[in-house]
Chain A
Amino acid sequence: MSTSPAAGAARWAASDPNRVRLKDLRTEEMVLNMGPQHPSTHGVLRLEVVTDGEIVIDVIPHLGYLHRCFEKHAESLTYPQVIPYVDRMDYLAAMNNELAWAVAVERLLGIEEDIHPRVQYIRVLMAELNRIASHLVSIGTFGQDAGAVTPFLWCFRDREHILNLFEWASGARLLYNYIWIGGLMHDLPVGFEERCREFVQYFRPRVRELNDLLTYNTIFVERTANVGVLPLEVAINYGCSGPMLRGSGLRWDLRRDDPYLVYPDLEFDVCVGRGEVGTPGDCWNRYKVRAEEIEQSLRIIEQCLDQLQRGVARRTADFDPQKLCPPRVVPPRGAEVYARFENPRGELGFYILSDGTEKPFRVKARSPSFSNLSVLPEISRGAMLADLIVILGSVDIVLGEVDR
């Protein structure tokens, strides 16, 4: 083994080499490889940043450090067996992923309409709770990217209560395997609805507190308003969805516009970036959409709880959450479905192709973070290095979902 540093560096060639070559750079430019190990890439993303001092000339994201080939796994598993793998895509919103997979397969089987209302309301309740938990992480880490550490811990303190609820219902805190094809793993534990109401009461003032600490903080507004502006046409053209798209001003929410489960019966507003501070489409507005969605999710949760305690989805003695769970899930040959769902990060789509066996022929997961991340170079050219971090934080990626 040679001991000179240069030889040591040459011995291992990178398996994902830089796209920019040194000879193409101008004198004052420098390539900064941000990641895969970096505090602000939210996992293992590598950004190849061409910088001129503090100015970002170009960004080239290198993905795949967390790639597990979910789609290959799915081809060798039966439909119900895929659920735990789906959990691990967007690991901050596992309930939403499960819901998406379960409803997509139900649509493939043609049993979507037959699901018991209590199952449907419980699914929506869980999905909205998980949306709050996911947005809390997103807001907290975004604050941390801007240099404010305290909101992060406040958010995690409140998220803990939601995770406790999930643990009570499903036995797991992060990856639940709770929503099954055709039903649920269990009914809710007795007393869950009351505890959930207590959480809503506890949590409402906390949202206001968070707004006082972070949302309208002068330095925070300085750092995020008018930074990384994403015009609406660009957002649509790049396939951005969720808070990214709403932050740019399009009132577009699949829960309202391509409804599934009992969402049509529930009342909630679709929050959009209004440019109250800065311009629509900047980091602050994307952040604000998430903060407002938390309150809308609380509204949905209360309506679900009303139905679960007193309405059509009351607890009854003969309710069996697994009644419709098919013993063998075998969709007909040649059936295919593209189903899409509003996840905390945007549109999660599953394209499933069946060949008439127990295992899917082909599954493609269209993950929101993947498309949202692809717009990053477009909106961060010309920004400063510190802005790049804030923009990346406002895009709110989960690498488990980008890389699948």
Chain B
Amino acid sequence: MGSGMEFFIALLGPVLGVMFVALLVASFIALYTLAAVYAERKVSAFIQDRVGPLETGPRGLLQTVADILKLLLKEDIVPRMADKPLWVVAPFVVFSAVFVGYAVMPFGPELVAANLNVGVLFITAFAAFEVAGLLLAGWGSNNKYALYGAVRSVAQVISYEIPAGLAVLSVVLLAGTLNLQEIVLQQGIGASGPRHLFGLPFLPDVSALGGLFTWNVLAYPHLLIAFAIYFIASLAEVNRAPFDIPEAESELVAGYHTEYGGIKFAFFYLAEYGGMLLVGLIGAVLFLGGWHSPLPNLGPVRLADWTTGPIWGIFWLLLKGFAAVFVHMWARWTLPRLRVDQLMYLCWKVLTPFAVAMVVVSAFWASWR
């Protein structure tokens, strides 16, 4: 009896800790989504020569709060012909798949919820799992447009997993680890082992310099191409323009979430914006130094040392993530949408061969080093 109680208390600590972290991340995603939706409106308004939201709150800042309140207060309608269990569970599956990805994300030197040795594998696996939720939503809605959207998104996400995965692989080969935190640690001051500028041994070692020069894209210049491939593929994975064909408004009304409203629709929204940030963060971790500062140590001006730490780590990582989200928005409001066959062409005949080439280069580089 006593040992059972002790066991229970011993278990309670970590469980509470995990729940606390999870709650923290969940509320962060919700707040970030509020801000991102507002930002998207303002960015699109700027691009389209409009003013965007102005009326609700100062400079329209409360517009998204009002929207989320509206979504929360809406009647929860279940279509009569829907496959009810699938339909209900789908938005939560989609959101969880994105949410779980944040668990292995290193936000700072010691700040990582689950420091998994197979973090890269974990995060790509769950990113692909999101598509199961989209398929549930499309099939469960019992709506032809939703079904089209679901089938399109399955085709798209699974195809784009391949160039994205290969681009990630080309980093992993050079890093020699699947642990995201270790991949980040290699890209800044305090990296173990020498790190030459542009990866060329006759150039000076920059591991003490830190900053921009130790990031993967500069330490191994071919990773710049890998990063471009990864970025394009990640746009497609989170169904953003110009690859938003699963929810193509002018063709499929709203794609897989045509039938959703209220809080369930809000979860799709959370997943979409959470996904945008997540792929931006993964890109930052793998290619752009993660939570490391872009500022190098220049002689006595120890910029990199001064701007490294837990708070700085969160700041730099989120800054990189938000920059990626901004580029997503910029692309969305500038470019038309591709057609489904052109999307597949781009994936299989352009991105995948280049990604394979990047993996080969990485493999040779890693063995030669």
Contacts and interface: CB of A to CB of B under 8 A. Distances in A.
Interface of A: 5, 8, 30, 32, 38-40, 54, 143-150, 153-154, 157, 213-214, 217, 219-220, 222-223, 384-387, 389
B49 A157 contact: yes
A385 B251 contact: yes
B70 interface: no
Interface of B: 44, 47-50, 80-81, 144-145, 148, 241-242, 244-245, 248-251, 253, 333-342
Contacts of A213: 334
B337 to A, nearest CB: 3
A223 B340 contact: no
Given A38-B253, A385-B148, A150 B340 contact: no
Nearest to B345: A222
B334 A147 contact: no
A30 B250 contact: no
A384 B339 contact: yes
Given A32-B144, A153-B50, A154-B49, 7 more contacts: A146-B337, A147-B241, A150-B333, A219-B242, A220-B336, A386-B245, A386-B337
A30 B144 contact: yes
Contact of A146 (B80, B144, B336): B336
Nearest to B80: A5
B250 A147 contact: yes
Given A5-B80, A150-B47, A384-B341, A389 B251 contact: yes
Q: Which 10 A-B pairs have the closest CB atoms?
A: A147-B337, A148-B336, A153-B48, A146-B336, A147-B336, A40-B250, A386-B339, A219-B336, A220-B336, A145-B250
Contacts of B336: 143, 146-148, 214, 217, 219-220, 223
A384 B248 CA distance: 14
B114 to A, nearest CB: 38
8 contacts: A146-B250, A148-B334, A213-B334, A219-B242, A222-B338, A384-B339, A386-B245, A387-B339
* Prevailing SS type, chain B contact patch: loop
B64 to A, nearest CB: 19
Nearest to A141: B250
A219 B243 CA distance: 11
A389 B249 CA distance: 11
A34 to B, nearest CB: 9
- Scoring A144, A149, A223, A384 by chain B CB atoms within 10 A of each residue's CB, the highest score goes to A149
A385 B255 CA distance: 13
A39 B249 contact: yes
Query: Which of B80, B81, B241, B337 has the most C-beta atoms of chain A within 10 angstroms of its own C-beta?
Result: B337
A173 to B, nearest CB: 19
A47 to B, nearest CB: 12
B339 A223 contact: yes
Given A386-B251, A386-B339, A8 B334 contact: no
A355 B306 CA distance: 94
Contacts of B244: 147
Contact of A217 (B80, B144, B335): B335
A147 B148 contact: no
A49 to B, nearest CB: 10
Contact of B340 (A5, A40, A54, A153): A54
A217 B120 CA distance: 36
A386 B48 contact: no
Nearest to A227: B339
